[in-house]
């Protein structure tokens, strides 16, 4: 390896300092403001388009895009950028609604997974139930449990638990509160996350949309990620509920790597090859028998 002389070190420091000064110059600030304006106007834009519209070099534009993404002002894409609100609207349009997932998609498999999940809950435990159609399917099987503290951010789980709590007073239900989102039928946001920080629980039962060896646990909606991460952080054990169609899929936003969970409960239709791959990665895979 070539040894770097003191003189060369000084030259590099001056060069890097000059670049830093350039990035903070009024010209750079004006250029970035113009980029944000164009991205918000067009929703999506490419680096060549920005070069043509602004007159800066591709290297400067790419450096600006990195800085602007770090500030949350845009989302970088392959070869360009996208307005954050446009990304979220796109994801919502392409994401099946909660109602459709609950009523139509893989109902038998979800029920089998839910029943298997409840078998892992011991009387006297504290558990978090994430919002979602599979975790909601757990509710009928909780009726025979005793002395549970159940924490959830889901409107549907809360409503379904009400008649069960009326007949089984040993169950205590805590809802997080927060900003109510109709498309997920759940509470999200800072208030919900802060509520979860008050608890240390035995088990979190987490709903996801994709489970991938390379990308871990993912969902298509950015707003869901912070509270799901807090659910993981609050639990001694995280158990992911995912039917076989979710195995091998990757969505836009990562919740956490595979190492964040201890088990995945899936249905009996999961391929043996996939099960072995996830087990080799250190996860315990539980196959729920057919309902």
Q: What is the pLDDT of residue 266?
A: 97
Query: Which one of 63, 92, 121 terminates a domain?
Result: 92
Q: What is the pLDDT of residue 24?
A: 62
Residues 166, 219 share a domain: yes
Q: What is the pLDDT of residue 88?
A: 54
Q: What is the pLDDT of residue 28?
A: 85
Q: CATH number for the domain including 79?
A: 1.10.10.10
Domain that holds residue 166: 98-288
Q: What's the total number of domains in the chain? A: 2
pTM: 0.67
Q: Which residues of the chain have pLDDT under 50?
A: 1-4, 6, 8-21, 91, 93-94, 98, 100, 102-104
Q: What is the pLDDT of residue 118?
A: 97
Residues 151, 78 share a domain: no
Q: What is the pLDDT of residue 291?
A: 65
* Ramachandran class of 32: left when φ > 0, alpha when ψ lies in -120 to 50, beta otherwise: alpha
Q: What is the pLDDT of residue 102?
A: 44
Q: What is the pLDDT of residue 85?
A: 66
Residues 102, 87 share a domain: no
């Amino acid at each position: 390896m070539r040894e770097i002389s003191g003189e060369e070190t000084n030259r590099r420091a001056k060069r890097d300092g000059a670049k830093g000064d350039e990035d903070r110059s009024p010209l750079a600030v004006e250029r970035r403001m113009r980029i944000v304006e164009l991205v918000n106007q067009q929703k999506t834009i490419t680096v060549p388009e920005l070069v043509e519209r602004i007159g800066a070099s591709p290297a400067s534009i790419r450096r600006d895009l990195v800085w602007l993404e770090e500030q949350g002002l845009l989302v970088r894409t392959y070869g360009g950028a996208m307005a954050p609100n446009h990304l979220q609207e796109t994801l919502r349009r392409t994401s099946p609604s909660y109602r459709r997932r609950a009523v139509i998609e893989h109902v038998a498999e979800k029920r089998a997974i839910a029943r298997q999940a409840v078998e892992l809950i011991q009387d006297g435990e504290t558990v978090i139930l994430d919002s979602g159609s599979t975790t909601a399917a757990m509710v009928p099987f909780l009726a025979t449990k005793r002395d549970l503290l159940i924490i959830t951010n889901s409107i549907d789980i809360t409503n379904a638990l009400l008649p069960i709590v009326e007949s089984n007073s040993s169950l205590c239900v805590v809802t997080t509160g927060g900003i109510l989102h109709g498309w997920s039928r759940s509470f999200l946001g800072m208030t919900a996350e802060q509520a979860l920080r008050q608890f240390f629980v035995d088990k979190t039962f987490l709903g996801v949309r994709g489970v991938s060896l390379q990308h871990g646990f993912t969902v298509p909606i950015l707003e869901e990620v912070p509270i799901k991460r807090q659910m993981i952080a609050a639990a001694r054990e995280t158990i992911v509920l995912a039917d076989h169609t979710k195995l091998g899929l990757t969505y836009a936003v990562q919740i956490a790597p595979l190492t964040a969970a201890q088990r995945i409960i899936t249905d009996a239709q999961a391929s043996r090859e996939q099960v072995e791959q996830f087990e080799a990665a250190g996860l315990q895979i539980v196959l729920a028998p057919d309902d």
